[in-house]
Structure 1
């Protein structure tokens, strides 16, 4: 129990039973206004202990309950990811081009990126434009451009290049050893005995045109899936299922593993997530919206939800009428509470009943059971805000004292802390 005017915790009770609460409330004969949640037990206990007291239902709990019922209904109607028509054909095509360009930029080595930077600088591009063009972080750009030529050349070396250079160096040491032995007059047989190398290898090392770099170095090997990539991409664009795609390419001669096909399809969809529609009809461009982001619209105005634009919001309402109904009814109720329009409550309840949504009907039943307190919540400014803040403080104290005190000790400590706070 919190005194609204003094903002002070007055008392605590360790029970929610009607008889205990009613008896406890009678020990405070001067109660005239009580703000509470929608508990039927509290309603009855307050009414019997103080028949003349004004009961006010807490607006936060009213909104929370209505929104929770709305989310419960929408979870049955909406998938975790829903598809809507793309806001504009131009946007979709532009986005697809951006994705392809980003894929190409990821394949560039650091040296190739530096060469692209020099070309763009020569063309008069600014730093920001260059970074956007090659998908490079500005900090990485600054670090690269501040290096000396020697440091930059060293940074271009990948781990594979470093390992390869070390192997080439080791091989050349062996080659020079063989050639030095040949210079002092050793035969190939003698060189083979001293070095342990095969005589055919010695003949190659003695050849002036010998190249220590492996013939396959720098060449990317094609995998088993490579010849079928184009066919897979075309099938995915048409929305064909992965199992059907695998069946098709196996008929064309693919003999690799199924996991390789699945991994490629997964990566393809992830890169084109916003523009992939497994049920694409007539080439309709779509984009994916997360359900969790849609639920944010029940709590915040569209201007404050950065993940969804107003155009996307309108598409969602048009393509999913179930969401439009819930969104509309929740925001109308919020308008009732903030606008202090008590007379509009009955009309809102009638409109909500006509929706025929079981979850909303349950909320309406709760309102009708506590209608006077709900009307008072619209009419008056009182709320449970102070109580909720005090509960947070109480939970901290409980955790500090967990397992080391009884309820009476907790109550005594909390009330003494309140007295000390007021004295200070």
Structure 2
């Protein structure tokens, strides 16, 4: 009985691909093919009539080719790809539904009065109102000046100012641009929904509006947000590891230039302008946190929530257990998605087929589009999925062998034909020791 795994590899990514076959017992590469199309793969597989077990990924081309070439062969869907695709589906759902920072009730009041003052004084109007509020609370002019890092003359000027002379609190240019973008998108959503309510099909809506089908489906979805999912997304950069220190130093009254000099001694290589932009964004977040009932809010970056798909909470540094519980309380469906991921991982290694169908039914109840698409793929390849639970074989050997093939291909770059590549690879495999 011959047991093999089959996978594709790239000659030139996104343009041309080949196929590789590995013996699961000897761990040797059996052969490679310069195509991954169905007909050449069928013809190639028929050259190996004693194949009885085949491990593969979710490719329907390979599934169909194996079925036609070896109808009695046992096909096993690779567990890694099943878990990876499920995680990817949940990740796509989170990027579609959640903003770059998720608002939850504050789990801890950790800001000092100096830090709160720093974030409460975003512009001149806010500084004037802040000084007057603190004066009404009983603080002296000296105390307010120290808190705001302003001169006594400036604070006295703020306190003596008439109410009608206080300037209006205006949004920053970034906030104004964002509001215009949200308004525009809401109009697009309303127009698409209006066309759909009038009986237009997706094809007709696409023709009228010029939007692609995925955009139309997102606009028609009830849980589709009007805010772009990438808005306010904090990209990793030179400043990231110094952010908390910058806030603390700025709250003590240090200038941006002084702060830059301090953190440059610790390895920062960016500019002082980056600090100003960072502080502007932090003040905007503070403004979002303010509510009419004065309830304290905090924001959790979506990237930490995405990491919970792949890691336990103890290994995600940006989120605490208390914050996680607040997120799940606000978004119960997210907690169910996390639980479903854990259950599927246990199912894959349980050797218990009876758990698969109940898990799929529970997943369908979540009514997540990305999940339903994944489940449709599982049902289409159900026998191979069940075999992945029963058998221990996987495509790990194929992934490692493809890496070996890539190394050889790059060494021969610019002077190799496919036949030369195949001959060299198989020659090297002939010296491979059987495990």
TM value normalised by structure 2: 0.57
CA distance in 1, matches of 2:278, 2:372: 44
1:357 aligns with 2:368: yes
1:40 aligns with 2:40: no
1:287 aligns with 2:298: yes
Specify the alignment match of 1:205 in structure 2: none
Which of 1 and 2 has greater Rg?
1
Q: Which runs of 5+ in 1 are unaligned?
A: 104-219, 232-239, 247-261
C-alpha offsets along residues 83-111 of structure 1, whole Å, 9 cap, x if unaligned? 21121xxx32x3335857999xxxxxxxx
Cα deviation for residue 316 of structure 1 reads 1.2
Specify the alignment match of 1:377 in structure 2: 388
SS in 2 for 1:360: helix
Q: 1:302 aligns with which of 308, 313, 322?
A: 313
Q: 1:408 aligns with which of 409, 419, 422?
A: 419
Contact 1:57–1:377 (Cα < 8 Å) also in 2: yes
SS in 2 for 1:282: coil
SS in 1 for 2:32: coil
1:71 aligns with 2:87: no
Q: 1:334 aligns with which of 340, 345, 363?
A: 345
Contact 1:96–1:272 (Cα < 8 Å) also in 2: no
CA distance in 2, matches of 1:416, 1:86: 63
Specify the alignment match of 1:258 in structure 2: none
CA distance in 2, matches of 1:270, 1:397: 49
CA distance in 2, matches of 1:387, 1:29: 20
Specify the alignment match of 1:58 in structure 2: 78
C-alpha offsets along residues 326-348 of structure 1, whole Å, 9 cap, x if unaligned? 22222221121122221111111
TM value normalised by structure 1: 0.58
C-alpha offsets along residues 377-396 of structure 1, whole Å, 9 cap, x if unaligned? 11111111111111122222
Specify the alignment match of 1:242 in structure 2: 171
Number of equivalenced pairs? 279
Cα deviation for residue 54 of structure 1 reads 1.0
Cα deviation for residue 292 of structure 1 reads 1.4
The structure-2 alpha-carbon separation of the partners of 1:307 and 1:243, relative to structure 1 and needing over 3 Å to count, comes to closer
Between Structure 1 and Structure 2, which shows a larger proportion of helix residues?
A: 1
Which range moved further: 58-67 or 326-335? 326-335
The structure-2 alpha-carbon separation of the partners of 1:243 and 1:271, relative to structure 1 and needing over 3 Å to count, comes to closer
The structure-2 alpha-carbon separation of the partners of 1:280 and 1:17, relative to structure 1 and needing over 3 Å to count, comes to same
The structure-2 alpha-carbon separation of the partners of 1:291 and 1:271, relative to structure 1 and needing over 3 Å to count, comes to closer
Which range moved further: 413-422 or 22-31? 413-422
- Pairwise CA RMSD of aligned residues? 3.6
Between Structure 1 and Structure 2, which shows a larger proportion of strand residues?
A: 2
Specify the alignment match of 1:15 in structure 2: 35
The structure-2 alpha-carbon separation of the partners of 1:42 and 1:229, relative to structure 1 and needing over 3 Å to count, comes to farther
The structure-2 alpha-carbon separation of the partners of 1:100 and 1:383, relative to structure 1 and needing over 3 Å to count, comes to same
CA distance in 2, matches of 1:295, 1:267: 23
